[in-house]
A and B are shown apart, each in its own frame.
Chain A
Amino acid sequence: MNALGRFWSRARQSRAVLFCGGLLVGLVVVAMLGPFLSPHNYLQTDFNNILSAPSLTDGHPFGTDDLGRDLFVRTLLGVQVTILVALVASAVSLVIGVFYGAVAGLTGGRVDAIMMRFVDTLYALPFIFLVILLMVAFERNFFLIFVAIGAVNWLDMARIVRGQTLSLREREFVQAAQLSGVSFVRIILRHIAPNLVGVVIVYLTLTIPQAILVESFLSFLGLGIQEPQTSLGALVDAGVNHMEGASWMLLIPAALLALILLCFNFLGDALRDVFDARQSR
């Protein structure tokens, strides 16, 4: 907790972190509360307003789609789902990746070699292709999407954590702890883990946009979230079909998707700067 607290107190001083972080938090709040403020819900079809352009007067600020559903509510739902998928998938990759990487780095030797070769082997598999096969073979569902994205992302995390652990293990303060008789478990908890926090947080903020992209990609292919549920990727897919004549169906979710991706990427970069500055001090 201590390490996290110190990281946060540094991060808070960076304007880029505050701006991007604030924007994302604001977006999530709007996405959560917005649907309650609208008179429509994401299922309701409004037959008087099919494919109507965005306007404030008829209560459809983002317009409607080809079934007359309110795009304001659907887009906010898409943001919710997209961010949820990204967070859960990143959490999955965080847990597996950190655990796997730390064990490999700390044990070292042959165990490390075998564990990392396993990672290399997984890298070589065409995962998207496998996921597509899985989705075709079984039913499409939420769970499969998490598995698919988490399975791709934890590999990078494991590699990064392992490398960091390897270098930490050789640091002099770890040797000093060994000489004082500190136990293996305590060395991990007190000396290795806290020094990993910065790197892991930074890398996590870069994993989230990757997860979002993969989810959007799957949804765009029609393999992701199932109707009537939706995500930004699925909305963009629908928008492409009505690109001529109903450009808002494409432009609004695409712009939001780009905004979210940019925010996470900038946040990751800014956090990395914060972390580097601390390292060199």
Chain B
Amino acid sequence: MSLLEIDRLNIRYGEQVAVADLSFAVETGESVGLVGESGSGKSQTALAILGLLPRSATISGAIRLAGRDILGASEKVLDEVRARRVAMVFQDPMQALNPYLQIGQALCQILSTHGLASGAAVRARVIEMLRRVGLADAERQFRAYPHQLSGGMRQRVMIASALLGEPELLVADEPTTALDVTVQAQILELLEEVRDNTALLLITHDLGIVAGRCERMLVLERGRLVEEGLTTSVFSEPKHRHTQTLIAAAPRLDRGAMLAPVEAENILEIHDAEVSYAERGHGQLKAVQQLSVAVRAGETVAIVGESGSGKSSLVRAALGLVPLRAGQVVFCGAALANTVQSRAAAVRSDLQLVFQDPVGSLNPQMQVHAIVAEPLRVHAPGLSRAEQVDAILDKVGLDDSFLTRYPHELSGGQAQRVAIARALIMQPRVLICDEAVAALDGSVRKQILELLRDVQRETGLAILFITHDLAVVRAISHRVLVMYLGRLVELAASEALFTRARHPYTQALLRAVPVPDPTAAGGYASLSGEPPSIISPPGGCAFHPRCVHAKNICTTTRPSTRVVDDVTVACHRADELLQPH
């Protein structure tokens, strides 16, 4: 008898089918990956197992936990199940934790409500559990409120609360999607460490995570199970077409050709940029400091770094959306004004931006043709626009039927194409993409990246590409800028960066990326701790508290940026530390 058996599960919302005829089993103690793109029904399945589906859902089939059907069981039974047998870790720990309770109180409540412990034992159990999930100073953090913890720490607390009832099955729904890659590796490692004999159902869109962490995997497509098997065999011989597409679309850090450097004039230069924001009660928050970078015609420069590293502030300053406190933006040899309002219209249209959230960047009240034509209206009023709009939509792969649609009638990928069409219609010289593919599914992401690549080849467009996903960087960029707490860490050609990373931070980032191949190493935590607060960065080299190579000088003196073998790097030990990756 399996621990969890799902038998022909169907979930419908009215006419819409979320999950269709899904059957699978999870054995005691094993780890199973549930993979699929958005809308494939992964999360619906997880919610069904925990009895958390909304009432509007029509459910049929059976969900058996150790032989007992819990689908449609009473709330009392389900409470018991959720307390002691099946636990869940959600994607966003901030949403899942009560902001008015100290984390210790919240955890104690779980124990005492379900009668799992009483009296002094409660507190002791909670503190022990907090230690187990890696909260070093558990006694003190017992009294912390969720907002006082970082995202990674909150996710650790969530895991602690899930494990308190010693469940037989842990369901983790995209537990690391909201986290930085280095923290992701830590959390995945923690899940593996602490679960003992608890079975794990890991739901994710990231094949890399499944490859490294799960014994078996299930692939969902539009609510149907299309493939199931041992992780190693699914990866080596995917049978279903959808699985093959997914694996092919997953960008890989460890293989694939890299782009050779482009020899051309600099088109956009950022010199010694400084961006700061006034922070109430904290003085100045220095988001970007003394940073210089340039992008050439026809070249893609990727900007990577953990959240809070100042990537977005840097490009927004280049665009004039936030003011530079010091430094200069030079476009085609001429210095640009500090704010977008004071720049000439012709220059404005040469620098365009594509946002992360495609739907949010389109006015919900305007139809696609009006959205795309708007820049034309400003720059060439009176001209016939329909032809140009048709041509550009054709280029981004949307046909005429999209002209009269509103943004909410578009999928994420389609909306992002519209946003790209709007950015490209004035034939800009520089396109800045701020996490432009982060919200998209793997296969759609691949199409959008190919589209950008084609446009670049045709028009010599320069692209600044912000992303946290190093595998994407490898596939599309000529050069890479790595940032940490607002400063340049390393700036190098892709080839140099991915084969001979010089800075310890870059090396750690590269090691933390999960590789979608069960036989390859990768995705392990080589960085402990999390990015320090940008409000009070550590002295000396900002990275030294997390750096395994830090020496005395790193704690006292900030390393200057210097050029070693065509690589710009800010590290005292850049010469000694070069190690083949």
Bitwise, B344-374 to A at CB < 8 A (1) or not (0) is 0100110111010100111111100000001
Across-interface contacts of A191 in B (CB, < 8 A) = 363
Q: Which of A173, A179, A281 contacts B319 (CB 8 A)?
A: A179
* B422 at the binding interface (Cβ < 8 Å): yes
CB distance from B501 to the nearest CB of A (A): 33
- Which residues of A lie under 8 Å from residue B375 when comparing CB positions? 180-182
Chain B residues with CB under 8 Å of A2's CB are: 365
| Nearest chain B residue, comparing its CB with the CB of A278 | B408
- In whole angstroms, how far apart are the Cα atoms of A281 and B362 in the complex? 14
Kindly state whether residue B341 has any CB partner on chain A within 8 Å. Answer: yes
- Contacts A6-B365, A176-B422, A179-B352; A171 near B321 (Cβ below 8 A): no
Q: How far is the CA of A178 from the CA of B355 in the complex (A)?
A: 14
A residues less than 8 Å from B345 (CB atoms)? 181
A177 to B422, CA, bound (A): 10
Size category of the binding interface on chain A: 20 to 34
- Are the CB atoms of B361 and A179 closer together than 8 Å? no
- Is A195 an interface residue, CB under 8 A from the partner? yes
List, in ascending order, chain A residues with CB within 8 A of B361's CB: 172-173, 175-176
> Is the CB of A163 closer than 8 A to any CB of chain B?
no
A27 CA to B366 CA, complexed, in Å: 36
Quick one: given A171-B360, A180-B422, are A3 and B365 in contact (CB under 8 Å)?
yes
Partner of A180, one of B321, B349, B357, B366: B349
Nearest Cβ on chain B to A198's Cβ, whole angstroms: 9
Contact present for B374 and A179 (CB under 8 Å): no
Whether A12 sits at the interface, judged by CB under 8 Å, is no
Cβ A172 vs Cβ B340 within 8 A: no
Q: Per-position contact with A for B297-325: 1 when CB-CB < 8 Å, else 0?
A: 00000000000000000000001010000
Which residues between 1 and 28 of chain A lie within 8 Å of chain B, taking CB atoms? 2-3, 6
Known: A181-B348, A181-B375. A176 touches B365 (CB 8 A): no
* Cα-based distance from A195 to B408 in the complex (angstroms): 14
Contact among B348, B349, B408 for A281, CB-based, below 8 A: B408
Question: Which of A179, A195, A281 is packed against the most chain B CB atoms within 10 Å?
Answer: A179
Nearest residue, chain B, Cβ from A279: B364
Which A67-107 residues have C-beta < 8 A from chain B?
A: none
- B94 vs chain A, min Cβ distance (A): 20
B273 adjacent to chain A (CB < 8 Å) = no
Q: Point out the residues of chain B lying under 8 angstroms from A278, CB to CB.
A: 408
- In Å, the complex CA distance between A190 and B377 comes to 12
Closest to B428 in A: A179
- Quick check: A178 and B340 within 8 Å, CB to CB? yes
Minimal Cβ-Cβ distance residue in A for B340: A178
Q: Tell whether A173 pairs with B363 under 8 Å between CB atoms, given A178-B341, A179-B319, A181-B375.
A: yes
Kindly provide the distance from the CB of B289 to the nearest chain A CB, expressed in whole angstroms: 24
Q: Are A195 and B364 in contact (CB under 8 A)?
A: yes
Q: Are A195 and B363 in contact (CB under 8 A)?
A: yes
Verify if A194 is at the interface (C-beta below 8 Å from B): yes
Considering only CB atoms, which chain B residue lies closest to A197 in the complex? B365
Judge if B379 is at the interface, Cβ distance under 8 Å: yes
With the chains together, A194 CA to B371 CA distance in Å?
14
Chain A residue with Cβ nearest B361: A172
Nearest chain B CB to A85's CB is how many angstroms away?
33
Closest-by-CB residue of A relative to B426 is A180
Task: Tell whether A195 pairs with B365 under 8 Å between CB atoms, given A181-B348, A182-B374.
Answer: yes
Within 8 A of A (CB), among B549-566: none
Residues of A within 8 A of B351 (CB): 179
Cβ distance B358 to chain A, nearest Cβ, rounded Å: 9
Name the contact of A177 in the complex, choosing from B355, B374, B408 (C-beta under 8 A): B374
Q: Of residues A2, A3, A175, which shows the largest number of chain B Cβ atoms within 10 Å of its Cβ?
A: A175
Contact A178 B426 (CB under 8 A): no
Task: Tell me which of A173, A183, A186, A190 has the highest count of chain B C-beta atoms within 10 A of its own C-beta.
Answer: A173
Give the distance to chain A from B150, nearest Cβ to Cβ, in Å.
25
B378 within 8 A of partner (CB): yes
Residue from B341, B374, B419 having most chain A Cβ neighbours under 10 A: B374
Pick from A6, A182, A194: contact of B378, CB below 8 A. Answer: A182
Give the complex CA separation of A219 and B319 in angstroms.
59
Please give, as numbers and ranges, the residues of chain B lying within 8 Å of A176 by CB-CB distance: 353, 355, 361, 419, 422-423
Residues of A contacting B349 with CB < 8 Å? 180-181
Give min CB distance, A73 to chain B, whole Å. 46
Q: Which residues of B sit under 8 angstroms from A172, Cβ to Cβ?
A: 355, 357, 360-361
- If A172-B355, A172-B360, A173-B360 touch, does A179 touch B365 (CB 8 Å cutoff)? no
Query: Which residues in B have their C-beta under 8 angstroms from that of A194?
Result: 363, 365-366
Shortest distance from the beta carbon of B111 to any chain A beta carbon, whole Å: 36
Distance of A266 Cα from B356 Cα, bound (Å) = 39
A175 lies within 8 A of B348 (CB): no
Which of B353, B365, B422 has a CB less than 8 Å from the CB of A175? B353
A190 lies within 8 A of B366 (CB): yes
Q: Please measure, in the bound complex, the distance between the C-alpha atom of A175 and the C-alpha atom of B518, giving whole angstroms.
A: 43
Distance between A278 CB and nearest chain B CB, rounded to angstroms: 8
Interface centre among A2, A181, A195, A281 (most CB of B within 10 A): A181
* Distance of A248 from chain B, by nearest CB (Å): 46
For the A-B complex with A176-B353, A181-B345, A181-B379 known, give 5 more contacts whose Cβ atoms are closer than 8 Å. Answer: A172-B357, A176-B355, A181-B375, A194-B365, A194-B366
The list of the 6 closest CB pairs from A to B, nearest first, reads: A180-B375, A172-B361, A194-B365, A181-B345, A173-B363, A181-B348
Contacts A/B (CB < 8 Å), 16 sampled: A173-B360, A173-B362, A176-B353, A177-B374, A178-B340, A180-B348, A180-B349, A180-B352, A181-B345, A181-B378, A182-B378, A183-B378, A186-B378, A190-B363, A195-B363, A195-B365
Chain A interface (Cβ within 8 Å of chain B)? 2-3, 6, 171-173, 175-183, 186, 190-191, 194-195, 278, 281
